[in-house]
Amino acid sequence: MYYRKDFQRSVCIMATMIFVFPFSLCAEENKETVTSTESVNAAEKGSGIVEDETGVYYIVKKGDTLWSLSQQFLDSPWQWPGLWAENSDVPILNPHDIYPGQRIRLVPRKTPSKAELSEQFRLTGQEPEFDQSAQAMVKPEFSEPVQKKEVPYFAYPSIDRVGFLMKKPAKSSGSIFKAKDDKGMISKGDQVYIREAGTNALLVGRHYTVYRTMKPTEDEKTLISIGVQHFLTGIVEITEKKPRFAIGRVIQSFRDIALNDLLMPRIPRSPKITLAESVKGFEGKILASEDHAGIIGEHSVVFINKGEDDGVRSGQQYSIYYQEKAKLDPQSEEEILLPPVDFGKLIVLLTQKTTSTVLIIQSDKAIHSGTKIRSP
């Protein structure tokens, strides 16, 4: 009898728990959901920061760029390539264009492994520092501290597609005279047939840069030719040789490749451009943009009228400026020069003897051909 009463009491308790516990769970979940939603709404209305279980995000506002967001949240504008890579799923097809309303992931909410932290220490030579609000992270142990620090650099993943100006056209190794199936617009993966040029034999297995030469660039004042623009369109690998031609496969296309585009041996370029000290007392000007746009802005690739002969090297930075004139005396025709005003910056990507290819990394106003540049 006592056993029966104990059994009945246990059944009643279990039934009560089964009935009550799920509802308490649901209430807690609903509470958390409401709280999370409220925090997201508040963030979007205020600073634009959104935080959830997958990470920390920023809602893009008008005027934002990856450059400015890297400066704001990563303390350095040079980190924009990493920010772009972190948001490959957004997707951001062009790093130069982000739009209001896009969610940009800032900090992945995860704890780095010891291997990742060790790699960070190897590259920087510094102990990792963490935000106090982040999750607890384990400090790595090292048997022998790495003394060597990596030289500061500017990361530019698109370096392979950057063209250049030369006094005379580069020596061609061949030209594309046909595409398989007579495709009009040749792109990655297509098979092409190449006519060899002179004694520059094409080698099977070797990669060649595909390019075309543009109309010579002239000085806008003197009309003297400054150089011939080499416009890069892709990369081809030679797969087979025939008696009078070669067969190749397009392994990368920067732009539409066309019939009669030329080939030159590919020289690998590092996307890490080591920063270098600029030339003191430097004066130069912007010649034209690579795509011949009338108005030039941030992230545009342009050519300048100074090169290796002037001491210009890749990784150097220069200021973009203007200088106005004014009449000191309204009754006189005499004009005086006012102090120069810097309104932008550029970094040198490639150099030739008398010209260089540069990237506009910051600009507060439109840039035109002839705009002056100087030492920072």
Tens digit of pLDDT at every position of the chain (376 positions): 444 444 445 444 444 443 333 333 333 333 333 333 444 454 445 567 877 666 788 888 888 888 888 888 877 777 777 788 777 777 677 777 788 888 888 755 444 445 544 554 554 454 444 443 333 333 334 344 445 566 899 999 999 999 999 988 999 999 999 999 998 889 999 999 999 987 778 999 999 999 999 887 767 666 677 889 999 999 999 999 999 899 999 999 999 999 999 999 999 899 999 999 999 999 999 999 998 887 899 999 999 999 999 999 999 999 999 999 898 888 888 888 899 999 999 999 999 999 999 999 999 999 998 999 999 9
Cite the beta strand spans of 55-206 per DSSP E.
55-59, 103-108, 153-155, 164-166, 174-179, 191-196
Give residue 56's pLDDT. Answer: 80
d(CA 276, CA 57): 34
Residue that has been written with the tokens 């050519």 in this structure: 303
Largest CA distance in the chain: 122
pLDDT of residue 39: 40
Say if residues 263 and 198 touch (Cβ distance below 8 Å).
no
Other CB atoms within 10 Å distance of the CB of residue 31: 10
Determine the pLDDT at residue 11: 42
The predicted structure's pLDDT at residue 124: 46
pLDDT of residue 52: 67
Give the pLDDT confidence score for residue 23 in this predicted structure: 31
3-state secondary structure of 268: coil
DSSP state for residue 161 in the 8-state scheme:
G
250 forms beta bridges with 236
d(CA 178, CA 185): 11
Predicted confidence at residue 79, as pLDDT, reads 76
Report in angstroms the alpha-carbon separations of 300 from 55, 99, 344, 349.
32, 18, 12, 12
CA 75, 80, 85, 91 torsion-angle sign: positive
Closest by Cα among 242, 265, 232 to 357 = 232
Count how many Cα atoms sit within 13 Å of the Cα of residue 126 in the half-sphere of its side chain: 5
pLDDT recorded at residue 149: 66
Q: Which residues of the chain does CATH 2.40.10 include?
A: 159-265, 275-374
d(CA 148, CA 337): 48
**Per-residue model confidence (pLDDT) at position 116:** 47
Query: Quick one: pLDDT at residue 188?
Result: 94
Which fold, 275-374? Thrombin, subunit H (2.40.10)
At 98, is the secondary structure helix, strand, or coil?
A: coil
Quick one: CATH architecture of 159-265? Beta Barrel (2.40)
Q: Characterize the bridge pairing of strands 262-265 and 246-253.
A: unpaired
Give residue 333's pLDDT.
83
CA distance linking residue 318 with residue 275, whole number of Å:
12
Give pLDDT, residue 54.
65
Going from the C-alpha of 338 to that of each of 227, 320, 327, the distances in angstroms are: 33, 16, 10
370 three-class SS: coil
pLDDT at 220: 67
Instruction: List alpha helices for 46-161, DSSP H.
Output: 66-74, 80-86, 114-124
